[in-house]
Structure 1
Amino acid sequence: MKLKGYLWSAFLVAFISIIGFSYIAILISNHKIIQFDQRVITFVQGLESPFLTLIMRFFTYLGSFPSVMVLFIVISYYLYIVLKHRAEFLLFGTVVVGTIIFNEMLKHFFHRARPDFHRLIEAGGYSFPSGHAMSAFAFYGIVAFLLWRHIPDQLGRTILILVSILFIFIIGISRIYLGVHYPSDIVGGYFASALWLTIAIWFFQRYKEKQYERSYRS
Structure 2
Amino acid sequence: MRYSHRQRRVSPYVIFWALLALAGFGVIAFFAVRQPLNSFDLHVAAWVQSFESASLTRIMVFFSTLGSTKFTILITLSAMLILFFVLQHRMELLFLAAFLGGASLLNKLLKIIFQRERPFVHRLVEETGFSFPSGHAMAAFALYGALAFLLWRHIRPQWGRILLIVLSCFMVVMICISRIYLGVHYPSDIAGALLASGFWLSVMIGIAQWYEGRYGAVSEFRLRR
Q: Shared topology, TM-score over 0.5? A: yes
Matched, 1:99 2:103: yes
| C-alpha contact (below 8 Å) 2:212/2:218 kept by paired residues | no
Matched, 1:191 2:184: no
Q: Per the alignment, in what secondary structure is the counterpart of residue 181 of structure 1?
A: coil
Letter in 2 for 1:146: L
The root-mean-square deviation of aligned C-alpha atoms, in Å, is: 1.8
| C-alpha contact (below 8 Å) 1:136/1:171 kept by paired residues | yes
1:26 to partner: Cα distance:
0.8
Letter in 1 for 2:178: S
**Counterparts of 2:207 and 2:37 in 1: how far apart (Å)?**
35
1:48-71 alpha-carbon deviations (Å, 9 max, x no partner): 011111111111111110000011
Q: 1:3 to 1:138 in 2, by over 3 A?
A: farther
State the match for 1:35 in structure 2.
39
State the match for 1:14 in structure 2.
18
Matched, 1:52 2:52: no
**Counterparts of 1:214 and 1:160 in 2: how far apart (Å)?**
23
Q: Per the alignment, in what secondary structure is the counterpart of residue 47 of structure 1?
A: coil
**Counterparts of 1:89 and 1:194 in 2: how far apart (Å)?**
19
**Counterparts of 1:166 and 1:39 in 2: how far apart (Å)?**
23
1:160-198 alpha-carbon deviations (Å, 9 max, x no partner): 111111111111110000000000000000000000011
1:106-161 alpha-carbon deviations (Å, 9 max, x no partner): 00000000001111111110000000110011100000111101001111111111
Matches within 5 A, 1:197-216: 197-212=201-216
Letter in 2 for 1:168: V
Normalising to structure 1: TM-score of the pair? 0.93
**Counterparts of 1:214 and 1:104 in 2: how far apart (Å)?**
31
State the match for 2:160 in structure 1.
156
Q: Which runs of 5+ in 1 are unaligned?
A: none
Q: Per the alignment, in what secondary structure is the counterpart of residue 157 of structure 1?
A: helix
**Counterparts of 2:15 and 2:101 in 1: how far apart (Å)?**
23
State the match for 2:173 in structure 1.
169
1:89 to partner: Cα distance:
0.4
| C-alpha contact (below 8 Å) 2:48/2:180 kept by paired residues | yes
**Counterparts of 2:62 and 2:79 in 1: how far apart (Å)?**
20
Q: Per the alignment, in what secondary structure is the counterpart of residue 148 of structure 2?
A: helix
| C-alpha contact (below 8 Å) 1:27/1:33 kept by paired residues | no
**Counterparts of 2:44 and 2:159 in 1: how far apart (Å)?**
34
1:82 to partner: Cα distance:
3.0
Matches within 5 A, 1:101-140: 101-140=105-144
**Is 187-196 or 197-206 further displaced after alignment?**
197-206
1:33 to partner: Cα distance:
6.5
1:207 to partner: Cα distance:
1.7
Q: Per the alignment, in what secondary structure is the counterpart of residue 149 of structure 1?
A: helix
**Counterparts of 1:104 and 1:9 in 2: how far apart (Å)?**
28
**Counterparts of 2:7 and 2:130 in 1: how far apart (Å)?**
39
Letter in 1 for 2:67: G
Count the aligned residue pairs: 214
